[in-house]
């Protein structure tokens, strides 16, 4: 009692689909069997989020500063007392400039605040500005910039208060002065919680690394071990060999993303979802496809896993570092910005942050999604073309 024969075309399609399902299961099993690899994937999507959240600090924190107070007046002490935690941490007084330099050399402090003799007198006379000197370690440019900017602000505020006192003493107590006040409002992340940005960007980074490296390595390993010949004599088309590798990766990535997001980012770090979560996971799948295409294309250029490693570093690291996570795009030279347009991560960032934090929908993000889909299709087809030619 066999089922009635289906039309040949349909039979072909369903057989192909079944073959692809088997191949996808094979790829998944291969990933699951490599214990070190599996552990690393699990780490990337779980524990690593905590590492990322703990280490990201772009604001000035605990900047140790030395003091050399040559004035020793109430005014100088008042100014020094305004350098407070969490930005600043006093690292003690120094007696001489050499001592200060030595401590700065050893990295025990990042700043020296020097108040010259006569500071208080000059301030009282009011004929000339009273000067304080700042020596800032700028070997880490960002810390150096922030340390000096905050210091300037503290000194300015102190000066403004003295000025106000002087003016009202001069009989102008109720006189107001023109002033421009800065009222800031930060949208999408009102408390400037750095963990939101840090954990999301780290998740996107991990997705990128896994999606490019794993399919590439999987394909090259088949070449290296010669199992590709077995696949060739099987009734599978090149598409059926390649696409399951992509599918397997999409499954692993989506699983990891769902776990990382629903299990860690949202409950632990309070990362909000202002847009549609379903759309986010959908776009993540599309992104996994785009990246896997890139990985497979690169794999067709190499013969050994070691070479894939090098080629991947060449493509993956710039993608991660330059797509807008580490440094804002607009501050890069324009030739570089043009090159980065071809990085799928650049568009995924816009979509990811757009959906999660800015609450944007398809009506705003359609252009980025379209570019990602286009890049993915081109990369995958190019890889398929090269793979097919290599087999012939």
Partner 1 sequence: MNLRRVLAVAWKEAREIWRDRLYFGLAFALPVILMIVYCYGLVQDVENAPFAILDHDRSTLSRDYAHRFLDSRYFDFQGYVEDSREAERLLVDARVRMVLVVPPGFERDLREGRPVAVQTIFDGTFTTPIRTLRGYVESIHASLGASLRADWLARNRGLSPERAAVLLQPVRVETRYLYNREVRTLWAIAPTMIMFILMMTSPLLTALSIVREKETGAIYNIYSATITRAEYLLGKLLPNAAVSFLNILVLFVLATSWFGAPFDGSFGLFAGASVGFVLSTSCLGLLVSLLARSQQAALMISVIAGVVVALNFSGMTTPPQAMPPGLYAVAHLFPALAYRNVVLGTFLKGLDLRILWQDAAYFFAYAAAAFALCTGLFRKRTAA
Please report, as residue ranges, which positions from 354 to 383 form the binding site for partner 1 (by CB under 8 A).
Answer: 354, 357-360, 364
Binding of partner 1 by 306 (CB under 8 A): yes
Q: CA-to-CA distance for 353 and 260, rounded, in angstroms? A: 16
Please, what is the minimum distance in Å from the beta carbon of residue 294 to partner 1? 15
Please, what is the minimum distance in Å from the beta carbon of residue 106 to partner 1? 6
> What does the DSSP 8-state code read for residue 282?
H
> Which of residues 99 and 194 has its CB atom nearest to partner 1 in the complex?
194
Binding of partner 1 by 229 (CB under 8 A): no
Query: Measured between alpha carbons, how far is residue 168 from residues 35, 154, 155, 161, 164 in Å?
Result: 75, 21, 20, 11, 6
Please, what is the minimum distance in Å from the beta carbon of residue 385 to partner 1? 21
Question: Which residue from 57, 66, 129, 107 is spatially nearest to 86, judged by alpha carbons?
Answer: 57
Please, what is the minimum distance in Å from the beta carbon of residue 300 to partner 1? 14
Site for partner 1 in 238-267 (CB under 8 A): none
Binding mask 190-209 for partner 1 (x = CB under 8 A): x-xxx-xx--------x--x
Binding of partner 1 by 99 (CB under 8 A): no
Judge whether 316 and 212 are in contact, CB under 8 Å. Answer: yes
Q: CA-to-CA distance for 91 and 89, rounded, in angstroms? A: 6
Binding mask 206-225 for partner 1 (x = CB under 8 A): x--xx--xx--xx--x--xx
Q: CA-to-CA distance for 47 and 260, rounded, in angstroms? A: 9
> Which of residues 16 and 77 has its CB atom nearest to partner 1 in the complex?
77
Binding of partner 1 by 166 (CB under 8 A): yes
Please, what is the minimum distance in Å from the beta carbon of residue 58 to partner 1? 4
Torsion of CA 93, 97, 102, 106, to 10 degrees: 60
Torsion of CA 77, 80, 82, 83, to 10 degrees: -160
What burial letters (b/e) apply to 6-35, b meaning 16+ CB within 10 Å? eeeeeeeeeeeeebbeebbeebbebbeeee
Please, what is the minimum distance in Å from the beta carbon of residue 290 to partner 1? 19
Binding mask 309-348 for partner 1 (x = CB under 8 A): xxxxxx-xxx-xxx-x-xxx-xxxx--x------------
Binding of partner 1 by 141 (CB under 8 A): yes
Q: Choose which of 10, 145, 341, 385 interacts with partner 1 (CB under 8 A).
A: 145
Site for partner 1 in 28-87 (CB under 8 A): 34-37, 40, 44, 48, 51-52, 54-59, 61-64, 79
> Which of residues 93 and 105 has its CB atom nearest to partner 1 in the complex?
105
Dihedrals phi, psi of 48, to nearest 5 degrees? -60, -30
Binding of partner 1 by 4 (CB under 8 A): no
Please, what is the minimum distance in Å from the beta carbon of residue 67 to partner 1? 15
Binding of partner 1 by 144 (CB under 8 A): yes
Q: Choose which of 9, 95, 177, 233 interacts with partner 1 (CB under 8 A).
A: 177
Q: CA-to-CA distance for 13 and 308, rounded, in angstroms? A: 33
The footprint of partner 1 on this chain (CB under 8 A) covers a number of residues equal to: 127
Binding mask 267-296 for partner 1 (x = CB under 8 A): ------------------------------
Q: CA-to-CA distance for 253 and 206, rounded, in angstroms? A: 9
Strand pairing partners for 112?
66, 135
Distance of CA 380 to the CA centre of its chain: 26
Please, what is the minimum distance in Å from the beta carbon of residue 289 to partner 1? 20
DSSP string across 349-374: HHHHHHHHTS---HHHHHHHHHHHHH
Judge whether 284 and 253 are in contact, CB under 8 Å. Answer: yes
Please, what is the minimum distance in Å from the beta carbon of residue 291 to partner 1? 14
């Amino acid at each position: 009692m066999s089922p009635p024969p289906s039309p040949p075309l349909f039979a072909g399609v369903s057989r192909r689909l079944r073959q692809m399902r088997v191949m996808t299961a094979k790829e998944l099993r291969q990933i699951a069997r490599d214990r070190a690899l599996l552990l690393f994937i699990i780490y990337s999507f779980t524990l690593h989020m905590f590492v990322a959240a703990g280490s990201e600090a772009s604001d000035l924190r605990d900047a140790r500063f030395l003091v050399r107070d040559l004035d020793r007046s109430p005014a100088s002490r008042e100014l020094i007392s305004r350098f407070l935690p969490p930005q600043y941490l006093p690292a003690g007084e120094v007696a001489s400039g050499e001592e200060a330099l030595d401590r700065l050399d050893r990295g025990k402090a990042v700043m020296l605040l020097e108040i010259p003799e006569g500071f208080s007198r000059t301030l009282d006379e009011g004929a000339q500005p009273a000067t304080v000197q700042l020596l800032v370690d700028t070997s880490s440019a960002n810390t150096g910039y922030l340390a000096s900017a905050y210091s300037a602000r503290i000194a300015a505020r102190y000066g403004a208060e003295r000025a106000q006192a002087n003016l009202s003493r001069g009989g102008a107590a109720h006189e107001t002065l023109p002033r421009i006040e800065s009222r800031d409002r930060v949208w999408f992340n009102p408390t400037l919680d750095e963990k939101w940005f840090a954990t999301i960007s780290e998740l996107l980074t991990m997705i990128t690394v896994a999606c490019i490296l794993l399919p590439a390595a999987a394909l090259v390993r088949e070449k290296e071990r010669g199992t590709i010949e077995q696949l060739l004599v099987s009734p599978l088309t090149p598409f059926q060999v390649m696409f399951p590798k992509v599918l397997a990766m999409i499954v692993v990535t989506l699983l990891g993303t769902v776990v990382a997001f629903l299990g860690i980012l949202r409950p632990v770090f309070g990362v909000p979802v202002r847009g549609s979560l379903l759309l986010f996971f959908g776009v993540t799948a599309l992104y996994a496809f785009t990246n896997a295409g890139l990985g497979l294309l690169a794999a067709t250029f190499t013969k050994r896993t070691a070479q894939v490693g090098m080629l991947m570093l060449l493509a993956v690291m710039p993608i991660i570092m330059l797509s807008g996570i580490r440094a804002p795009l607009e501050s890069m030279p324009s030739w570089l910005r043009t090159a980065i347009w071809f990085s799928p991560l650049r568009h995924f960032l816009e979509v990811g942050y757009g959906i999660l934090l800015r609450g944007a929908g398809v009506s705003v993000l359609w252009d980025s999604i379209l570019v990602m889909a286009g890049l993915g299709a081109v990369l995958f087809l190019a890889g398929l073309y090269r793979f097919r030619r290599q087999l012939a």
